[in-house]
Amino acid sequence: MSNCSTVVGLVKCQNYAPEAVSAAISQAIDFLGGIEKFVKPGQKVLIKPNILNSSPPAKGITTHPEIIRALIRLVLRAGGIPYVGDSPGLGSARKGAEGCGILKVVWEEGAHFIDFHHAAHIGEINFSSGRVLKQVQFVKAVLEMDVVINAAKLKTHGFTGITAAVKNLFGCLPGLLKSQCHVRFARKEDFDLMLLDILQLVKPALNIVDAVVAMEGEGGPVTGALRPMNIIVAGVDAVAVDSVCAVLTGKQPHDFGFLKAAAQNGIGETNLDNIKIVGEPLVENIHKDFKQINRARETMLPNWVPNFIRTFLRRDFVDRPRLIKNKCKRCGACQKVCAAGAITLVDGRPTFDYAKCISCFCCQEMCKYSALKIRKSFLARVSFALGRLLSKLYV
């Protein structure tokens, strides 16, 4: 018999009409025991959405504001005091919330907005049990809350492959510190462990994933293609929730590094046999043709490859950002967010020092104008094509 933490609710939601979203969110949380199980009268409750930038809801980049409205109303019904907050990688959290429609919902529903960028909310946190994140500048307001509800958006992601509940908590690091963490934890394996450390530091009580309209393929989490999936995913265990999301996109949990690391470190549940799905049948909601992102990384090279060959392959094998000149608005966001110092501006446009580039793709993620694309080299395209061919031959 599954524990409550390994129960994941799947609820159909055909669109973002307020009534449809409210009913779906309520049912999803009822599957887990009801909002009163998680929120007690007088408790301060943080609802943490994905406010990546100020794009409107129709772009599918941020958690839809109707998801946040439904959660605020449930918290109020349980007698809690609702707060909403996040920290984009670049720019004002308040402007981001205003542009994506979340701030309007916060005011309409009588909740409070927390700007994670405000210096009063940021402090040095010691986390001795962290695997890699022992000490970090963190948004203290998150840890001062009685309850955290993690309200994520399902999208592909150039670095982690997928972003949902676990990755959404990365927003608890203030502003540009996120890109600095990409440098600090440049090895993909270390970055995955860092995400899991944040999960264990925050300990969200509930995890809700907006997959009514998801984002797929290259360009995720900003300029990927929109993919209607018409479903809400909910659970107590963020790892179990993301494992179910992985399957919904046609993959397996261990296809994503952070979920594989979670299994190896005993964090959450990735084994679908141990996850009790309630509500919609999982098998009937799998999108086998969901477009994924496969990245060619230096970490894919065997350890025995000599350094002088690695230098060549780093240039001609590893995926790198490229500029689409006619789309560039010369805003400089890419250069501001590049903590590795790999970008300089020439006549307002970025030029790349690929010897410094760590392939975190923060520049592409922060570009609102789709002026940066991640391009595969000829060697990488051949490698992935051979991999797909061999997988078909040996199935």
Cα(216)–Cα(242) distance, rounded to whole angstroms?
Answer: 15
Which pLDDT band holds residue 370 (cuts at 50, 70, 90)?
confident
What would the mean pLDDT of 169-177 be, rounded to a whole number? 90
Are residues 68 and 104 in contact, defined by beta-carbon separation less than 8 angstroms?
no
Least confident piece of the model among 148-152, 272-276, 297-301, 342-346: 297-301
What is the distance, to the nearest Å, from the Cα of residue 86 to the centroid of all Cα atoms in its chain? 12
Place of tokens 């990245």: 295
pLDDT of 120 above 70? no
Cα(221)–Cα(216) distance, rounded to whole angstroms?
Answer: 8
Q: What angle do CA 152, 158, 163 make, to 5 degrees?
A: 15
Which pLDDT band holds residue 253 (cuts at 50, 70, 90)?
very high
Highest mean pLDDT among 3-17, 82-96, 240-254, 296-310 belongs to 240-254
111 Rama sector, left if φ>0, alpha if ψ -120 to 50, beta otherwise: beta
CB atoms within 10 A of CB 107: 10
DSSP 305: S
Which pLDDT band holds residue 7 (cuts at 50, 70, 90)?
very high
pLDDT of 309 above 70? no
pLDDT tens-place string over residues 48-70 = 999 999 999 999 999 999 999 99
Structure tokens at 291: 């477009």
Contacts with 312 (C-beta within 8 Å, 6 or more apart), sequence order:
none
Place of tokens 């934890």: 185
Q: Among 84, 10, 82, 69, which Cα is nearest to 41's?
A: 82
DSSP 339: T
Crossing angle of the two packed helices 188-202 and 257-264, in degrees rounded to 10: 70
Helices (H), the chain: 18-30, 65-77, 93-99, 102-108, 140-143, 165-168, 177-184, 188-202, 238-248, 257-264, 307-316, 333-337, 362-366, 378-393
pLDDT at 2: 43
What would the mean pLDDT of 259-284 be, rounded to a whole number? 97
Which pLDDT band holds residue 28 (cuts at 50, 70, 90)?
very high
Which pLDDT band holds residue 89 (cuts at 50, 70, 90)?
confident
Q: Among 31, 110, 113, 123, which Cα is nearest to 77's?
A: 110
pLDDT at 257: 95
What would the mean pLDDT of 165-180 be, rounded to a whole number? 92
Burial class of residue 389 in the structure, from the number of CB atoms within 10 Å of its CB (0-12 exposed, 13-18 middle, 19+ buried): exposed
Structural domains in the chain, CATH included, are 4-285 (3.40.50.11440), 298-393 (3.30.70.20)
